[in-house]
């Protein structure tokens, strides 16, 4: 199965992708994570992407589509793919069609997480992750069970993203409205879009996704 999770910054795409990976053994392809890894490793892609990401703007279509193509090509054909944060523009949506065809895959579901943008600023500015394994947490909605200790790996170091400040988040939302939301009608016309209330609890969103993919 191949699915796209769509929604503005903070809608819960990463949170729910991690749950789908755990539940169904699918593979998460997050262009945001790939770009952050490239920035950390100071690769040519990372050097080009760093300032763009810090401004909350979109990295070039060619770069992100090449990252997706390479990662999909490295996956076992039977493993399902979750596209998290990709595609984000009309050219990316067209590129994904070609990439999927080249790898003998087809798109089964596009799931839009519907959310209230003002609440998202609160979600994003409260977000932090385990520096060791990347497990995601939130200052108010999802704290580790033991204070200061990661539930998943026992790590004790946590970090926050440099683009998780209010000004950059507002820019990321503007980019979503202007460039990403317009790709939904294309998938609507194919009859593969499901809409889920992303303002429900994390557990309830997971249940709604289960009902779509199982
Ligand atoms: P990316 O990393 O993709 O960021 P994003 O789309 O802005 O999404 P986020 O990761 O911020 O949010 P999310 O929906 O995953 O929410 P999460 O689950 O973490 O992209 C970053 C940058 O990279 C972009 O700005 C761009 O520059 C570049 N980029 C990436 N892809 C690109 C592309 N294709 N083209 C061009 N440029 C690209 O949840 C957020 C918080 O809320 C967490 O703390 C979580 O615990 C909490 N939470 C989640 N669900 C709920 C819930 N239901 N109730 C309460 N709290 C919840």
DSSP 121-174: HHHHHTEEEETTT--EEETTTB--SBTTB-TTT----EE--TT-SHHHHHHHHH
Please state, in angstroms and rounded to a whole number, the distance separating the CA atoms of residues 146 and 149. Answer: 6
31 Cβ closer than 6 Å to some ligand 1 atom:
yes
pLDDT of residue 94: 97
Tell me which of 161, 170, 179, 207 is the catalytic residue: 161
Which positions ≥6 away from 66 have C-beta within 8 Å? none
Is 161 annotated as catalytic?
A: yes
134 Cβ closer than 6 Å to some ligand 1 atom:
no
- pLDDT one-digit tens code per residue, 84-138: 999 999 999 999 999 999 999 999 999 999 999 888 998 899 999 999 999 999 9
Q: Ligand 1 mean position to 76 CA, how many Å?
A: 26
Flag whether pLDDT at 209 surpasses 90: yes
Question: What is the average pLDDT across 182-192?
Answer: 96
pTM of this prediction? Answer: 0.93
Contact 18/28 with Cβ under 8 angstroms? yes
Query: What does each C-alpha distance from 213 to 1, 2, 103, 129, 207 come to in angstroms?
Result: 8, 10, 21, 27, 10
What is the distance in angstroms between the CA of the first residue and the CA of the last residue of the chain? 10
Tell me which of 36, 50, 123, 172 is the catalytic residue: 172
Candidate from 9, 60, 66, 84 with most ligand 1 atoms within 8 A of CB, to mutate: 9
171 Cβ closer than 6 Å to some ligand 1 atom:
no
- pLDDT one-digit tens code per residue, 22-66: 999 999 999 999 999 999 999 999 999 999 999 999 999 999 999
Backbone angles phi, psi at 133, to 5 degrees: -115, -10
86 Cβ closer than 6 Å to some ligand 1 atom:
yes
Q: Ligand 1 mean position to 158 CA, how many Å?
A: 17
155 Cβ closer than 6 Å to some ligand 1 atom:
no
192 Cβ closer than 6 Å to some ligand 1 atom:
no
Whose alpha carbon is nearest atom 49 of ligand 1? 12
- H or E element in which residue 84 lies: strand 81-84
pLDDT of residue 214: 86
Q: What is the percent of the chain where pLDDT is above 90?
A: 93
Is 172 annotated as catalytic?
A: yes
**In 3-state terms, what secondary structure has residue 72?**
helix
């Amino acid at each position: 199965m191949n699915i796209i999770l769509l929604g503005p910054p903070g809608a819960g795409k990463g949170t729910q992708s991690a749950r789908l990976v755990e539940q169904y053994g699918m593979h998460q392809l997050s262009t945001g994570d790939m770009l952050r890894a490239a920035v950390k490793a100071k690769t040519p892609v990372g050097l080009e992407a760093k300032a763009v990401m810090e401004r909350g703007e979109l990295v070039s279509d060619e770069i992100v589509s090449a990252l997706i193509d390479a990662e999909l090509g490295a996956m076992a054909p039977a493993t399902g793919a979750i596209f998290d944060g990709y595609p984000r523009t009309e050219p990316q949506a067209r590129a994904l069609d070609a990439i999927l065809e080249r790898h003998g895959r087809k798109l089964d579901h596009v799931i839009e997480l519907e959310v209230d943008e003002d609440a998202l600023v609160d979600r994003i500015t409260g977000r932090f992750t385990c520096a060791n394994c990347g497990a995601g947490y939130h200052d108010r909605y999802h704290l580790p069970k033991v204070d200061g200790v990661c539930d998943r790996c026992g790590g004790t170091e946590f970090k926050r993203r440099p683009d998780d400040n209010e000004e950059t988040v507002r820019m990321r939302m503007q980019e979503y409205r202007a460039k990403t939301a317009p790709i939904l009608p294309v998938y609507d016309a194919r009859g593969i879009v499901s809409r889920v209330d992303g303002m429900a609890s994390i557990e309830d969103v997971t249940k709604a996704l289960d009902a779509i993919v199982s």
